[in-house]
Amino acid sequence: MSDQSSGLELQKLTMNFGTVRAVDDVDLALPEGQFVCLLGPSGCGKTTLLRLIAGLQTPTSGDIVFNGRSIVDVPSHKRDFGMVFQSLALFPHLTIAENIAYSLRIRGQSAAQTKARVDVLLDMVHMSGVGDRRITQLSGGQRQRVAIARALAISPRLFLLDEPLSALDAKLREAMQVELRQLQRDLGITTIVVTHDQREAMTMADHVVIMKDGKVQQNGSPLDIYRKPATAFVADFIGSSNLLPCLVTGNSVVSVFGQTVTIANMSDDLKTGDDAVLSVRPENLHIHTDGSHSAMNIAATVTFIRDLGSQVEIMLTHGNHQLVATMTPKDRPGVSIGDTVAVEFSGDACTVVPV
Ligand code: ATP
């Protein structure tokens, strides 16, 4: 376990590639000992941000401060960070144990020290007793574990992973997410993982950083972000959301489709008279076939029903607007495609953000 404090601060960090600004003026303090996910769509700059932290790229401007000291001028190999990349980059001609031992050997550790450490790491990733197998004899999940063990061999001060699970099939990927999270919790090492998969981020992270166009849109705990998205982009990216146009008519009050609703969470950037976006999660829309049950309801037409076994999704339209409601099978309303229904929701379940 790393016994050093691992506070990481990014200060006005910017990275340009020619005319492309991959990372744009990022200010971020990443909590020590936490599992952080950098999350965002393809091209938003998350890999570049990770590479800057790793020292594989030099920022155009700004600073990276680790344990109170600037590290922008410290070469990558002297930062003592562990890294796992999408490609894994394992040495195919070496055994599992030799792969894990590699960085220990080049750091001059004795054969006995190295063997002891490799045994601990093999045990940590549930691969005890198979250290002499070749990389080519391993499954995708086993290779993943070797790459993780290899990166952890040096007891890094920060653990960085770029889309580490993307090559795995869905089931194994989900199992590895839980394994990686448990390992991080046991070690207590600050870990930063790049992913474009919001479900993966929600599974693993204590702290999520959501990026778009090189900028941080929002960062915080997954549940806080889910409940109080700061922008329409975040609301849609973290779990799907129904995004409806509305007008701010007062303090925490909006008009949506001509009806007035008092809202639980409204962005501080909004004032009366502003056009805004109301975000309401699919699980918070309720469908009634026997007329409205509360003040806030929208008449909508059922366009599609997706039955996923454990969950039912009902797609609807209201004018030009698409809506989706989700429920458990036992709460499924008796509706068919083409039916007109009342869709209801409470202002308590809504967040209103700028357009
Ligand atoms: P993905 O999920 O697709 O890997 P990402 O969010 O990790 O995307 P980056 O790889 O950081 O995004 O790329 C951010 C932007 O910077 C993109 O527009 C990309 O084309 C550009 N970019 C990244 N690396 C380079 C490079 N070496 N040279 C030129 N442009 C680059």
CB 88 less than 6 A from any atom of ligand 1: no
* Model confidence at 2: pLDDT above 80: no
pLDDT single digits (tens) 29-58: 998 899 999 999 999 999 999 999 999 999
Give mean pLDDT, residues 311-330.
96
Identify the pLDDT of residue 127.
Answer: 86
> Is any ligand 1 atom within 6 A of the Cβ of residue 41?
no
Cα(48) to centroid of ligand 1, in Å? 6
Above 80 in pLDDT, residue 88?
no
Query: Which ligand 1 atom sits closest to the C-alpha of 196?
Result: 2
Q: Is the CB of 114 under 6 A from ligand 1?
A: no
pLDDT at 3 over 60: no
Residues 6+ away with beta carbon under 8 Å from 325: 282, 283, 285, 286, 287, 313, 314, 316, 343
Residues 151-185 pLDDT 10s: 999 889 999 999 988 877 888 888 889 988 998 99
CA distance 65 to 6: 10
Measured distance CA(344)–CA(341) in Å, rounded: 10
Residue 78, SS3?
Answer: helix
Q: What is the pLDDT of residues 118-154, one digit of tens each?
A: 999 998 888 888 889 999 888 888 888 899 999 999 8
Per the rule left: phi > 0, alpha: psi between -120 and 50, beta: everything else, 58 is beta
Q: Is 57 in the pocket of ligand 1 (CB under 6 A)?
A: no
Ligand 1 centroid to 225 CA: how many Å?
A: 25
Which residue among 13, 14, 21, 46 is best mutated to probe the pocket of ligand 1, counting the most ligand atoms within 8 A of its Cβ? Answer: 46
Asked if 193 contacts 164 with a C-beta cutoff of 8 angstroms, the reply is yes
Give yes or no for a contact between 145 and 67, defined as CB atoms under 8 angstroms apart: no
Q: Taking 50 as the threshold, does the pLDDT of residue 275 lie above it?
A: yes
